[in-house]
Amino acid sequence: MSSEYKIRFESISMEFPGVLALDQVSFGIRQGSVHVMMGENGAGKSTLMKILNGTHVPTSGKFYIDEREMKFQTTLNAEKQGVSMIYQELNYIPDMSVERYLMLCREPKKGPFIDWKGVHKEAKKILEEENLNYDPKITLRNLSVSDIQLLEITREIKRNQVEILIMDEPTSALTNAEVERLFRDIKALKERGITIIYISHKMDEIFRIADDITVMRDGKHIHTGPASEFTQDSLVKMMVGREITNVYPKEKIPLGETLLEVEGLNSEFSKLSDINFKVHAGEIVGLGGLMGAGRTETVRAICGLDPYESGKIRIQGKEVRIKSVTEAIKHGIVMASEDRRRYGLILCRDIRENISLSSLKRITKKGFLQIGRERKLTREYFDELKIKAPGMGTATLTLSGGNQQKVVLGKCLMTQAKVLILDEPTRGIDVGAKYEIYKLITELAKQGIGIIFISSELPEFIGMCDTAYVMYKGKIIDQISRDKMTQENIVMLAAGGKIDG
């Protein structure tokens, strides 16, 4: 085999209980290239990468780095050989400081002890080099998903010994400016001869940075070749095994009564000012804007996660004061958070328990859980959402990102909500799974549910929303009807500008 390959997989298979995650996978990755991995959630991409970084040991098969067979038992073994990985799902300790997070496992020492002054100095240097304006002492709990994603990328890039860097959906929570920064970093790493494996579902990114592309489906290797061999259509067809002609299956649905009305909402805590909008039955209402504009803060206030000082919230014309998530659910408002692992799931519990978690009143009688009723109701959502798992007793932690998101949606739907808030509902999800979620959202709207939709992917936002309220610095500055919902108009408003008409 040619020495041009930095990494070579040979007949790799990986079995979990009831699931063949990888089936005889063989291909090579060239030295110093940006190699993009494509495939639906559950196709085996992340599993293969976790074999490369020592998280999993393959059931059978071999892999080679620089033509030397490797057998990593732990991630530490892999790191010693220069393999580092940025995970799709953020793994962090909320109460850890920025400086400790950046220097974790590579702290400078004074004898046998950690040199904490050195930790602070090195972390501050890294932040300054990357132009990241974070207080080294602040805890991760006080940062957004985007902030933490950026810090994790920075931490891995700054590892001096890295030779192979795996990036699993690194831009799923980043702003456009942060994505551009990442691409500059990738170019610099490539110039240093570092091999980069990049997993993404964003087509525009892939063709900007890829040297080679590998497509996987159902745990099998489908094709590997230069990026020039592929088109968006051919990639999608290889990934899903069929053509998807209408990516956004949005239908024009007659609007019903006003389900939710927000009037003059103000929050010093969330820096929101005079928020006004309505959601009708059958309507998909978009909250647009750049990250930090106040979209997530607005919906957190509405569903009881954050406080608000003044303003009115009306449900079907009746004014309510929502002070907790429990009260929001009681009034028919439920939210699927952008950070599903932190706010949406209990990862160590199984699918059934997670789906039923917010609907315990429906399945308890005189304080006792009705197991049979719980199984019956959760099975309906498990089947309807087509969650890929051996059964409802499967631990949620073992699911792919797309299937974890489906569990979150199942939990929301089981509450029988009137208003469903979806904050970045397809973050880190492949094109096939996205299509299934779009169809589900459309079906829910047809059933008369009002939907608030937040997405940083403008084609998705435009393709799914009936109307949009665009936010800038904690305020809604304009409402756009579907016929004026263009990328240019949304970007102009999101940047604080105005549009004609």
Residue whose entry in the numeric block shows the structure tokens 């979209």: 295
CA gap 447, 417 in Å, rounded: 11
- Rounded distance between C-alpha atoms, residue 455 and residue 428, angstroms: 12
Pairing mode of beta strands 333-336, 195-199: unpaired
Residues forming a β-bridge with 423:
454
Other CB atoms within 10 Å distance of the CB of residue 271: 13
Q: Are residues 76 and 29 in the same domain?
A: yes
**Domain end position, chosen among 240, 266, 292:** 240
Residue 129 domain flag: no
HEC states along 224-245? EEEHHHCCHHHHHHHHHCCCCC
- 423 in the same domain as 325: yes
- Residues 257 and 224 both lie in one domain: no
- Beta carbons of 71 and 24 less than 8 angstroms apart: no
Report the C-alpha gap between 493 and 319 in whole angstroms. Answer: 30
Based on the fold, state whether residues 152 and 282 are members of the same structural domain: no
Cβ-contact 336, 344 below 8 angstroms = yes
Q: Same structural domain for residues 88 and 148?
A: yes
Any domain includes 462: yes
pLDDT at 155: 86
What pLDDT, on the 0 to 100 scale, is given for residue 92?
79
130 falls within a domain? no
Asked whether the CA dihedral 424, 425, 430, 435 is positive or negative, the reply is: negative
What digits encode the pLDDT tens for the residues 161-178?
Answer: 789 999 888 887 677 777
Instruction: Say yes or no: 207 and 314 in one domain.
Output: no
Please check whether residue 202 lies inside any domain of the structure: yes
Phi, psi of 10 (to 5 degrees): -130, 105
pLDDT at 2: 46
Residue 31 lies in a domain: yes
Mean pLDDT over the full length of the chain:
88
Place of tokens 């789906």: 355
Closest CA relative to residue 405, chosen from 338, 329, 332? 338
The verdict on residue 105 lying in a domain is: no
**Which CATH number belongs to the domain containing residue 492 in this structure?**
3.40.50.300
Q: Are residue 488 and residue 448 in the same domain, yes or no?
A: yes
Pick out the chain residues at pLDDT < 70. Answer: 1-3, 89, 160, 173, 242-246, 428, 430-431, 501
DSSP states of 94-132 as a string? Answer: TTSBHHHHHTTT---EETTEE-HHHHHHHHHHHHHHTT-
Are 265 and 319 part of one and the same domain?
yes
Alpha carbon separation from 215 to 5, 224, 239 (Å, rounded): 18, 6, 6
Q: What sign for the dihedral angle of Cα 88, 191, 177, 211?
A: negative
Q: Identify the pLDDT of residue 3.
A: 60
Residues 215 and 285 in one domain: no
- 27/18 Cα distance (integer angstroms): 25
Alpha-helical regions (H) of 334-430: 351-356, 371-384, 401-414
- Domain of residue 200 covers 5-96+139-240
- Under a CB-based contact definition with an 8 Å cutoff, are residues 379 and 392 in contact? yes
Within 8 A by CB and 6+ apart from 399, the residues are 351, 387, 388, 389, 407
Residue ending a domain, choose from 416, 443, 463? 416
Q: Are residues 327 and 393 in the same domain?
A: no
pTM of the model: 0.65
Residues 185 and 286 in one domain: no
Specify the pLDDT at position 1.
Answer: 40
Q: Which pLDDT value is given to residue 401?
A: 75
What is the C-alpha separation between 125 and 188, in angstroms, rounded? 19
- pLDDT of 213: 96
Q: How far apart (Å, rounded) are the C-alpha atoms in residues 24 and 7?
A: 16
Given 382, 416, 450, which residue is the final one in a domain? Answer: 416
* Domain count across the chain: 3
Q: Mind listing the pLDDT tens digit for each residue in 179-223?
A: 888 888 888 889 989 999 999 877 778 899 999 999 998 899 999
> Quick one: 154 and 235 in the same domain?
yes
**Is residue 134, in this structure, part of any structural domain at all?**
no
Give domain status of residue 115, yes or no. no
pLDDT at 287: 95
Which segments of 18-112 does DSSP mark as H helices, in order? 45-52, 75-80, 98-102
